[in-house]
Chain A
Amino acid sequence: MLSRDEVEVVLFTLGVAALSTILIFPLGLGAALALSRYRGPGKGLIETLLSLPLILPPTAVGLLLLEAFSLRSPLGSWLAARGIEIVFTWKAVVLATGVMSFPLLVRSARTAFEEVDPQLVGLARTLGCGPAAAFFRVTLPLAGRGVLAGTVLAFARALGEFGATVMVAGNIPGRTRTLALAIFHDNQVGRDDRAAVLAGVTAALAFVALWTTEALTRRLRRRAEA
């Protein structure tokens, strides 16, 4: 059904999507928490900036990342001097997918955190919890459904990321070729039949990811209402 190369592509895509989701998870929760609490000036501006990757064309985001991390840029050359190369490597894939799926996690998590009654957090504090303990023992469990939904959404987005990835990581077989990029390439070189197979695999993966969220969300809701 799938050639060895194609299986590698699938595994690579899953690995990269998982890694990028794991990396943005603490950052995303932190940003969501800060946004849900912060009521000062500039809140609207920060929210808009964080949501930009959702609305900008992925290629625009990819271009920005390419400029920022290119070997000529200050950041890129600084990293290269320390032996860290981003552009045209799997790290660029993780970077691109992470940036593109980050806003999805933040938005879901933020809504979930905002729905947690602040009085409950205050009560946890009087009961002996420091801010971190209050977060992990009260805020996070109560926001669990929203956070989970946001995480799986981010993962699914990472699975399918194309525009930003192709710009900053290139479509290098065996190194940066994800499922989405492989589909594009197969079509480019006239192998539409393989492209269709890979598209089917992507659809199946996305389906499983979303189905799992639904099931988990339902289970969490049932437990909360028991």
Chain B
Amino acid sequence: MRAAVLAVLAILSIPRAGSGEDVMVFAAASLADALEEIARGYEQASGNKVVLNVGASSDLSRQIQAGAAADLFFSADRAQMDVLEKAGLVRGADRGELLSNVLVVVVPAAASTRIAVPADLTQMRRIALADPEAVPAGVYARTWLESIGLWPALRDRVIPTLNVRAALAAVESGNVDAGIVYRTDAALSRRVRVAFTVPPESGPRIVYVVAPLAASRKAAARDLARRLAGDEARAVFEKYGFRVLAPR
């Protein structure tokens, strides 16, 4: 028995080939695929390992506040980054506003729903949104609907989901009539169809912010943060449909 425990510990402590640092990245769900690709490239180049934890930015920020050992936080809105800055977990000077996105209304691919104008949404019985109380994608959607006066009519039809990818999945399953997600999410799924695109000018200002955690002493964290702002990463983000913001 003791031998077995020792063996397991020995195996766990074997440094991996290309022994570098582990960078723990907490990122918004909508960034999952793009970051996967960028991370792979980074790992090969640097010999460091990237651990990606994706989810609702509000959920991740809460985890970080509760003590989760993140090195980098990539939020889908400023609000969640503000929370961390106010808590002293992130330094203002370290923040970088990298990306923007566009909201779209998606419907199941097989459905023949037509949404010519936003008011057509009132025809939908169930609309999936990432939780409009806190998750950036949901907050953006609500802000938009409020700004065009449709929120009171639609709020009772909203099915709140854990994050934006869950909203997408709900539409894919056909259990809801429509969902509001990012254009980048819709592009990844063949089982949904974009029925309406929220014009960026009339929609809410979507800003993705990245920052290393102040507590993280890893050089690799800042290294990765810089790389995310670099040209290679920019190309990947654009490929997935994100709008890259002009560098500061």
Contact = CB atoms under 8 A, between A and B. Distances in A.
A188 B65 CA distance: 12
B174 A170 contact: no
A172 B160 contact: yes
B194 to A, nearest CB: 20
Contacts of B174: 70-72
B161 A188 contact: no
B58 A72 contact: no
A171 B160 CA distance: 7
Contact of A188 (B62, B83, B175): B62
Contacts of B159: 88, 170, 172
A173 B160 contact: yes
A189 B175 contact: no
Nearest to B176: A88
Contacts of A70: 173-175
Given A170-B160, A170-B161, A189 B58 contact: yes
A30 to B, nearest CB: 31
Interface string B176-205: 100000000000000000000000000000
Contacts of A173: 160
A12 to B, nearest CB: 16
Contacts of B62: 187-188, 190
A87 interface: yes
B93 to A, nearest CB: 25
A70 B83 CA distance: 38
Contacts of B58: 188-190
Interface string A188-205: 111000000000000000
A125 interface: no
A91 interface: no
Interface in A160-197: 170-174, 185, 187-190
A189 B133 contact: yes
B131 interface: yes
B218 to A, nearest CB: 27
Instruction: Identify which of A71, A170, A173, A174 gathers the most chain B CB atoms within 10 Å of its CB.
Output: A170
Interface string B76-92: 00000001000000000
Nearest to A189: B134
Contacts of B158: 172
Interface string B139-163: 0000000000000000010111110
Interface in B29-78: 56, 58-59, 62
B173 A188 contact: no
B126 interface: yes
B191 to A, nearest CB: 10
A190 B134 contact: yes
Given A88-B126, A88-B159, A72 B173 contact: yes
Most interface-central of B62, B126, B156, B175 (chain A CB within 10 A): B175
A196 to B, nearest CB: 14
A25 to B, nearest CB: 29
Contacts of B176: 88
A188 B126 contact: no
Contacts of B131: 171, 185, 188-189
B63 to A, nearest CB: 10
B175 A71 contact: yes
24 contacts: A70-B174, A70-B175, A71-B173, A71-B174, A71-B175, A72-B173, A72-B175, A87-B175, A88-B126, A88-B159, A88-B175, A88-B176, A170-B161, A171-B131, A172-B158, A172-B159, A172-B160, A185-B131, A187-B62, A188-B56, A188-B58, A188-B134, A188-B162, A190-B83
Given A172-B159, A188-B162, 6 more contacts: A70-B175, A87-B175, A170-B160, A188-B58, A189-B134, A190-B62
Interface of B: 56, 58-59, 62, 83, 126, 131, 133-134, 156, 158-162, 173-176
**10 closest Cβ contacts across the A-B interface?**
A189-B134, A72-B174, A189-B133, A87-B175, A71-B174, A71-B175, A170-B159, A70-B173, A88-B159, A70-B175
